[in-house]
Structure 1
Amino acid sequence: MASPDKDLVPVLDKDGVRLTVDDAIATVTLTNPAKRNAQSPALWRALTEAGRQLPGSVRVVVLRAEGKSFSAGLDRQAFTPEGFDGEPSFIDLARGSDAELDATIAEYQEAFTWWRRSDIVSVAAVQGHAIGAGFQLALACDLRVVADDVQFAMRETSLGLVPDLTGTHPLVGLVGYARALEICVTGRFVTAEEAVNTGLANVAVPVGQLDDTVRDLASAVLAAPRDAVIETKALLRGAQDRTYEDQRGAERQAQARRLRDLAGVGD
């Protein structure tokens, strides 16, 4: 796919990740199409850094990828005895202490967590393969626009592992426990049609329309007042963990803040 941010000066451009900012819209692009944007610890650290470098003006973050595949998942080099240069191999990690292993996985997960921040709306533009870590990266975003050639798959269980990059919580929330379990333990592909029908994706479009559709969606998000979007996102994200009565209370409190703000009345 052609890059819509190629004329912008990158805020960050390293280890297969490029961050550009155009006023209220930031774009994070995976930039290693030759390897189908396979992921590594270095790429995860770059994604974490991208989140930390977002200017306060940014309201929408678009996640996209160059090439025919969004991300083919974890680079297979991770499964070799040598692993990546300068990185602990999986075998090294397994031989470490419980605390060291937990800390390392937690560091990897940071690349997948900041997309849920309440002050931004994140949109994944997904084409081609989104497998394993690629699937989980798409799940890290608030919204997903997919090309009609998309193929999601969670292959970790098939490899004797589990999805550990924060993808299980949003997957169950989107498609339900039974379907999420079936997707994970079979490792099968989820097509664009199924993704839309089950709520995994917001919309599917021809691959040539993917970037334009995401741009239109970002513009629609920006049309609403920022503080109202922030409050609404917080309400919806917390709804699953609240009782009905607690959610009613949260709505009242959020609306009171909005009314006072609009009326120019301080707390």
Structure 2
Amino acid sequence: MIVERDGAVAVLTIDRPKRRNALDTEAKKSLRTALESVAAAPDVRAVVLTGAGGSFCSGQDLAEHAALLKADPAHATDTVEADYAPIVKALASMPKPVIAAVQGTCVGAGLALALACDLRVFADDAHLATAFTAIGFTCDTGLSLTLPGSVGESRAKELLLLGEPFTPAQAVTWGIAGQVVPGPEVQERARALAAKLAAGPTRAYAETKHLLSTAPLSTVLHHEAQAQARLALTADHAEAVTAFVSKSKPDFRGN
């Protein structure tokens, strides 16, 4: 994790570019620590979350997950409640605005992180998808709350069940608020937006975020973790993870 300061703006960069910023244990711990640190820093008034090497985040590192699944499937998804839930809570409770600067791959938990931020700046060629059902999983990282809250229940079901990729232009049309700009402008635009907010009434922003966060996020995160734990024990999930690692097509049988 790279943490930079640009005046009153903190820029947090997930730094695993060779894995399209897939989140392994170290990356998740580092992201949580960074979020908690900037939340507590009185001289940080806005935050940008982004990824290194032209991608935002490709979600969970499935190579690491495959090893955990092989070693102890009953506990392979402990990370959902132990790591992803605290990260989402840190974003939701951050007493200052958070802007996601989204380029390249933004799928699975990566998409959930982008939606957990307050505002988003999308590269026009960013690749977005829910991706969970492709590996025999359901959504986590708060996506079961934030996605239908943005696009409505019917569209959310379509995106989650079919798992097909969609464009930033479609995302904005469907209700996922954000600016869509040419790829080379994403970082500059996100930082400019963060600087504008950092110069504003940040105490008022914090109160606004608190008032809007009336949904039972903790309950949703707990239910997501329970669902993933059940699915981790299914044959379909094991088949899908093995297929992903070997770059083959999974054979789903509904068990």
**Common fold, TM-score beyond 0.5?**
yes
Please give the alpha-carbon distance, in whole angstroms, between the structure 2 residues aligned to 1:92 and 1:105.
17
Alignment correspondent of 1:120: 96
- 1:32-43 residue pairs with structure 2 within 5 A? 32-43=16-27
Alignment correspondent of 1:70: 56
- Find the residue that maps to 1:63 and give its secondary structure: strand
Aligned length: 213
For structure 1, which segment, 70-79 or 26-35, has the greater mean C-alpha deviation from structure 2 after superposition? Answer: 70-79
- Find the residue that maps to 2:197 and give its secondary structure: helix
Which consecutive segments of 4 or more residues in structure 1 shift more than 3 A?
A: 101-104
- Find the residue that maps to 2:213 and give its secondary structure: helix
Instruction: Check 1:48–1:79 CA distance in 2 against 1; reply closer, same or farther (3 A cut).
Output: closer
Please give the alpha-carbon distance, in whole angstroms, between the structure 2 residues aligned to 1:169 and 1:213.
27
Alignment correspondent of 2:202: 226
Q: What is the percentage of aligned positions where both structures have the same residue?
A: 33
* 1:52 to 2:36 alignment: yes
> Can you give the 5+ residue segments of structure 1 that lack an aligned partner in the other structure?
1-16, 84-88, 242-267
Alignment correspondent of 1:195: 171
Deviation at 1:136, TM superposition (A): 1.5
The structure with the largest alpha-carbon Rg is 1
- 1:119-158 residue pairs with structure 2 within 5 A? 119-158=95-134
Deviation at 1:226, TM superposition (A): 2.0
> Can you give the 5+ residue segments of structure 2 that lack an aligned partner in the other structure?
217-255
Ranked by relative contact order (alpha carbons within 8 Å, sequence separation 6 or more), the top structure is: 2
Please give the alpha-carbon distance, in whole angstroms, between the structure 2 residues aligned to 1:163 and 1:91.
21
Please give the alpha-carbon distance, in whole angstroms, between the structure 2 residues aligned to 1:145 and 1:197.
14
* 1:163 to 2:149 alignment: no
- With normalisation by structure 1, the TM-score equals 0.73
- Contact 1:32–1:38 (Cα < 8 Å) also in 2: yes
Please give the alpha-carbon distance, in whole angstroms, between the structure 1 residues aligned to 2:70 and 2:141.
19
- Contact 1:153–1:183 (Cα < 8 Å) also in 2: yes
> Which has the larger helix fraction?
2
- Find the residue that maps to 1:190 and give its secondary structure: coil
Instruction: Check 1:31–1:149 CA distance in 2 against 1; reply closer, same or farther (3 A cut).
Output: same
* 1:31 to 2:15 alignment: yes
- Find the residue that maps to 1:53 and give its secondary structure: helix
- With normalisation by structure 2, the TM-score equals 0.77
Read off the aligned partner of 2:113 and give its amino acid letter.
Answer: L
* CA deviation profile, 1:73-132 (whole Å, cap 9, x unmatched): 22231343xx2xxxxx02444335xxxx78543112222321112511111000111111
Please give the alpha-carbon distance, in whole angstroms, between the structure 1 residues aligned to 2:14 and 2:74.
31
- Contact 2:93–2:210 (Cα < 8 Å) also in 1: no
Please give the alpha-carbon distance, in whole angstroms, between the structure 1 residues aligned to 2:42 and 2:53.
30
- Contact 1:146–1:201 (Cα < 8 Å) also in 2: no
